[in-house]
Amino acid sequence: MLVITADVVRDILSVKSCMNVMERALTDLANGQALQVLRTVLPLEGENVLGQMPSYLKNDGVIGTKVITVYPDNNQIGFPSHQGVVLLFNAINGKLQAIVDGNEITAIRTAAVSSIATDLLANKNSHTLSILGTGEQARSHLEAMLLVRPIKYVRVWSRHRKNGLAFKEEMEAKLNISVDVSDSAEEAVHQADIICTVTAAREPILKGEWVKEGAHINAVGACKANDRELATDLVKKSEFYVDRVESATKESGDFLIPLQEGVINESHIKGEIGELLIGKIPGRKSEKSITIFNSLGLAIEDIAAANFIYKEMSKKNEVSNY
Ligand code: NDP
């Protein structure tokens, strides 16, 4: 059994390589070749939770589960808000093959899936990117968006300007692109072609009137039924895609709150990214449509990423037969 640390995950799993892995996993899910159940969430003090996300990838012969704590206020005491591991098992004999750092996998696989959604849904000439939030996901999403569209302008917003400035300094050095720090979310999304909402906000931070025609939005931050980043008017006027309908209808405040308000109905969900990948559903209707990809995060993504890393290490003979 192998213990795979965050450094090794970072070395092996680039966002680009992860996109290929995620495409395959989402395709398998859409074709019924991957199974998962909804995550279980144990509520702790305040907004803290312990979550578990199991899945089975039939074509890869692996099963596994991610176990993760989410402590949203951890940034204030110098810890990541998400900490956990992915346990990877052989599906034939049930053996535990690897314990893989879950923080890095979560950051990379989420951004990789958003980049697949963006590639499928955003207008081709999208060149202005806005990122709301400056945490782990903001970092991986900036890298991911640059892979799929010819981004020339990047604007970022955080509640605390110093976090925006730290993000700018780090990401400009890392990715060789200029990043502007905006003073408000409204300013940040002005004329943006692509918007990534990657905050732990519980109330809307993005309004429909601020979003231009033709924009694509990756709504990633809100993963609980009572939390949302998107205002009702925005959801209502958009074409709304999800990673998994079963997850969205149980876990997505961005979808469930407008539904409870009676402003949209269940059929507002156009379908899943995997269904777009296999051509089962159409993409955006017109260049003027506003498209939303609502990401809840799926167990199959974690297991597929962990298995990819394990197999890459096997190729390098870094895995014994134990
Ligand atoms: P981080 O803790 O690294 O960053 C959180 C970010 O959210 C910070 O920029 C913080 O801003 C901002 N923020 C917190 N509260 C608010 C608020 N009330 N209004 C506006 N901004 C706020 O978290 P991650 O980057 O790892 O994750 C971001 C979000 O994405 C989380 O909610 C997380 O649960 C979710 N997530 C979703 C996944 C998916 O698969 N869909 C996977 C992983 C995470 P500030 O600097 O001002 O404090």
CA distance 274 to 115: 13
| Residue listed under structure tokens 């167990």 | 299
Mutate which of 73, 198, 241, 244 for ligand 1 pocket (most atoms within 8 A of beta carbon): 198
Q: How far apart are CA 247 and CA 225, in angstroms?
A: 10
- Does ligand 1 have an atom closer than 6 angstroms to the CB of 242? no
Residue 239 predicted with pLDDT over 50: yes
The domain ranges of the chain are: 2-105+300-321, 110-298
Q: How far is the CA of 12 from the centre of ligand 1 (A)?
A: 25
Q: How far is 149 from 154, CA to CA, in rounded Å? A: 12
Same fold, 2-105+300-321 and 110-298: no
Strand segments, DSSP code E, in 144-303 are 153-157, 179-181, 194-197, 216-219, 238-242, 269-272, 290-294
Helix (H) or strand (E) holding 148: helix 136-148
Helix (H) or strand (E) holding 255: helix 253-260
Indicate if ligand 1 lies below 6 Å from the C-beta of 298: no
200 lines ligand 1 (CB under 6 A): yes
pLDDT tens readout for residues 136-159 = 999 999 999 999 999 999 999 999
Distance from the alpha carbon of residue 200 to the mean position of ligand 1, in angstroms: 4
What dotted CATH number matches 2-105+300-321? 3.30.1780.10
4 contacts 98 by C-beta, under 8 angstroms: yes
Tell me the mean pLDDT in the region 206-216. 98
CA–centroid distance, residue 168 to ligand 1 (Å): 17
> Strand pairing of 238-242 and 290-294?
parallel
pLDDT given for residue 32 in this prediction: 97
Is residue 319 pLDDT above 70, yes or no?
A: no
Using most ligand atoms within 8 A of CB, pick from 76, 82, 137 the residue to mutate for ligand 1. 137
- State the pLDDT at residue 322: 42
pLDDT tens across 4-25, in order? 999 999 999 999 999 999 999 9
Residues 27/57, Cβ–Cβ less than 8 Å: no
pTM for the whole thing?
0.97
Q: How confident is the model at residue 321 (pLDDT cuts 50, 70, 90)?
A: very low
Q: What is the pLDDT of residue 76?
A: 86
Q: Domain 110-298 maps to which CATH number in 3.40.50.150, 3.40.50.720, 3.30.420.40, 3.40.50.1820?
A: 3.40.50.720
Rounded mean pLDDT, 21-44 = 97
How many C-beta neighbours within 10 Å does residue 183 have?
10
